Amino acid sequence: MNGGQGGMRMPHSSLPQDVEVLSEADLAAEGLLTFAALANMTASELMAAAKKFNITATQQEDLPKVIQKILTAQAEEQGQVWAEGILEIVDDGYGFVRRNGLLPSADDVYVPSPMLRRIGLRQGDTIGGVIRAPREGEKFWGMLRVEIISGTDPESARRRPHFGDLTPIHPIELINLETDPSNLSQRLINLVNPLGKGQRALIVSPPKAGKTSLLKQIAQGVTANYPEISLMVCLIGERPEEVTDMR
């Protein structure tokens, strides 16, 4: 893309010009909690930090979500706004955090080039941080500081290897799909064509043979036996009834 909105090149006068890039040390010096500091806390320490912001949380909750709640409350306490979205880097070298799905909108957040380079932000990163409202003559919100990058702190994210540099390996951990002895489809997949973590698979069959039903049973087996796995299902061209049944 060549610009911020629908492929249009945006004039630089419409972009925030005074966005400050703050480091972890800068935030610590201001007495602010950071994702890295919160992630290094024990569960009890994290619960105590949440209590200071009147956040009700238990040690059974997903800790990254508790951290996000704390950072959001901290921003609101300072009169700031917290935002999250998916980063899109445009040809001019700066980026936008898409807050409403992947389509450009008036709520997008401008991310300056120095911030992209300093933190090592990449196309498609899910980032969260403190933003400021657009001022007179500006069209976009401005990112003041990035706190979370794809579920980790900025320093750890900066050290990430590039995907193309990673070495592919064969799956070594089996995904057991069986949940009910009466479900023959799940059992047959385990016996005839077992699936492993990190494996790709393709279902080839004639129309109306039950591919969607088989996908549903695979999804049910994964969610029931492996709650730590994040499951995404994309149903293209399916009947609304099939979508409802999959849910």
CATH number at residue 22: 2.40.50.140
Residues 28 and 131 in one domain: yes
Residues 200 and 98 in one domain: no
Q: Is residue 209 part of a domain?
A: yes
Note the pLDDT tens digit of each residue in 99-142: 888 888 888 889 988 888 888 899 999 998 888 877 778 888 88
Q: In angstroms, how far is CA 165 from the centroid of its own chain? A: 22
Domain span holding position 229: 174-246
Residues 151 and 210 in one domain: no
Residues 142 and 71 in one domain: yes
Q: What is the per-residue pLDDT for 125?
A: 92
| Residue 161, both tokens | 């290897």
How do the pLDDT tens digits run along the chain, 247 residues long? 444 555 445 545 455 555 554 555 666 656 677 777 787 888 888 888 888 888 887 767 777 788 878 888 887 777 778 888 999 998 878 899 998 888 888 888 899 888 888 888 999 999 988 888 777 788 888 888 888 898 888 888 888 998 889 898 889 999 999 998 888 899 999 999 999 998 888 989 898 888 888 988 999 999 999 988 888 888 888 788 777 877 7
Q: Is residue 166 part of a domain?
A: no
Q: Is residue 2 part of a domain?
A: no
Q: What is the per-residue pLDDT for 176?
A: 93
Q: Give buried/exposed letters for 178-217 (b at 16+ CB in 10 A, else e).
A: bbeeeeebbbebbeeeebeeeeeeeeeeeeeeeebebebb
pTM of the model: 0.59
Q: Is residue 127 part of a domain?
A: yes
Q: What is the per-residue pLDDT for 132?
A: 80
| Residue 184, both tokens | 């023959």
Residues 185 and 143 in one domain: no
Residues 119 and 26 in one domain: yes
Q: Is residue 7 part of a domain?
A: no
Distance CA 245, CA 221 (A): 15
Residues 125 and 197 in one domain: no
The CA R_g of the chain, rounded to the nearest whole Å, is 22
Q: Is residue 25 part of a domain?
A: yes
Boundary of a domain, candidates 127, 158, 189:
158
Q: Is residue 99 part of a domain?
A: yes
Residues 42 and 91 in one domain: yes
Residues 16 and 120 in one domain: yes
Half-sphere exposure of 130 (CA within 13 A, CB side): 22
Q: What is the per-residue pLDDT for 25?
A: 61
Q: How many domains in the chain?
A: 2
Q: What is the per-residue pLDDT for 105?
A: 83
Boundary of a domain, candidates 100, 125, 158:
158
Residues 27 and 147 in one domain: yes
Residues 183 and 140 in one domain: no
Residues 151 and 178 in one domain: no
| Residue 11, both tokens | 């004039």
Q: Is residue 218 part of a domain?
A: yes
Distance CA 198, CA 74 (A): 37
Boundary of a domain, candidates 97, 130, 158:
158
Q: Tell me if residue 144 falls in helix, strand or coil.
A: strand
